[in-house]
Structure 1
Amino acid sequence: MSWANPEYFWLLLVVPFFLGYQVWNYFSGRKAQLTFSSLGKLSDIKGNYRAWLTWATPILYTAAYTFIILSLARPQLQNSTIERSAEGIDIVISIDISSSMLAEDIKPNRLIAAKDVAVDFIDKRISDRIGINVFARESFTVVPPTLDYALVSSLIETIDIGMVRDGTAIGMGLATAINRLRDSETESKVIILLTDGMNNSGEIDPVTAGELASTFNIKVYTIGIGSRGTAPYPIDDPIFGRRYQNVPVEIDEEMLQHIAGITGGRYWRATDLEEFIEVYNEIDQLEQSEVEEIIYIDYEEQYPQYLLSGLLFLLLGFVNERFITRSPLLHP
Structure 2
Amino acid sequence: MNALPRLDFIWPQLLWLLLLLPLLVLLYVWLLHRRKKVTVRYANLALVREAIGRSAGWRRHLPPMLMGLALATLILASARPTALLSLPSQQETIILAMDVSGSMRANDVQPNRLVAAQEAAKAFIAALPRNVRVGVVQFAGTAAAVQLPTHSREDVVAAIDRFQLQRGTATGSGIVLSLATLFPEAGIDLSQITGQRAMPRAADAPPSPDFVPVEPGSYGSAAIIMLTDGRATTGPDPLEAARMAAERGVRVYTVGIGTKEGETISFEGWSMRVQLDEESLKSIAQITHANYFYAGTAEDLKRVYESLSTRIALERKETEISALLAALGALLMLSAAGLSIWWFGRIA
**TM band (smaller chain):** 0.5 to 0.7
Matched, 1:148 2:152: yes
- Write the distance in 1 (CA, Å) between the matches of 2:311 and 2:159: 25
**Structure with greater proportional strand content:** 1
1:175 and 2:179 are equivalent in the alignment: no
**Farther-moved stretch of structure 1 (249-258 vs 129-138):** 249-258
Aligned equivalent of 2:248, options 207, 213, 216:
216
Distance 1:155 1:168 in 2: 19
Question: 2:227 and 2:89 mapped to 1: Cα distance?
Answer: 28
- Count of aligned residue pairs for this structure pair: 195
Partners in 1 of 2:283 and 2:92 — Cα distance?
A: 23
- Equivalences for residues 102-121 of structure 1 within 5 A: 102-121=105-124
Per-residue Cα deviation, 1:239-273 (whole angstroms, up to 9, x for no partner): xxxxx98x754111111111101111101111111
Inter-partner Cα distance in structure 2 for 1:277 and 1:192: 14
Q: How far, CA to CA, are the matches of 1:184 and 1:279 in structure 2? A: 32
Q: Which has the larger radius of gyration?
A: 1
TM alignment of 1:11-50, pairs within 5 A: none
Amino acid at match of 2:136: I
SS of 2:285's partner is: helix
- Pick one of 221, 229, 235 that aligns with 2:267: 235
Task: Measure the CA separation in 2 of the matches of 1:275 and 1:264.
Answer: 22
Gaps of 5+ in 1: 1-84, 238-243, 291-332
CA-based RMSD of the aligned residues comes to: 2.6
SS at match of 1:121: helix
Q: For each residue in 1:54-105, what CA deviation from the matched residue of structure 2 results, as whole angstroms up to 9, or x when unmatched?
A: xxxxxxxxxxxxxxxxxxxxxxxxxxxxxxx994431000011110111000
Partner of 1:33: none
1:159 matched residue in structure 2: 163
- 1:259 is the counterpart of 2:284: yes
- 2:293 counterpart of 1:268: yes
Q: Structure 1 vs Structure 2: percent identity of aligned residues?
A: 33
SS at match of 2:313: coil
Shift of 1:146: 0.8
Amino acid at match of 1:171: G
Higher relative contact order at CA 8 Å, sep ≥6: structure 1 or structure 2? 1
Distance 1:181 1:151 in 2: 18
Q: 1:188 aligns with which of 203, 221, 225?
A: 221
> What are the Cα deviations for residues 144-183 of structure 1, in whole angstroms up to 9, with x where unaligned?
1111111111121111213xxx101110011000111136
C-alpha displacement of 1:289? 5.7
Q: Distance in 2 between matches of 1:278 and 1:157?
A: 21
TM-score (norm 2): 0.52
Aligned residue number for residue 288 of structure 1: 313
Letter in 1 for 2:280: M
SS of the aligned residue for 1:229 comes to coil
How many Å apart are 1:228 and its aligned residue? Answer: 3.4
Amino acid at match of 2:168: G
Q: CA deviation at 1:235?
A: 2.9
Where do 5+ consecutive residues of structure 2 fail to align? 1-87, 187-218, 316-348
Q: 1:289 and 1:130 mapped to 2: Cα distance? A: 17
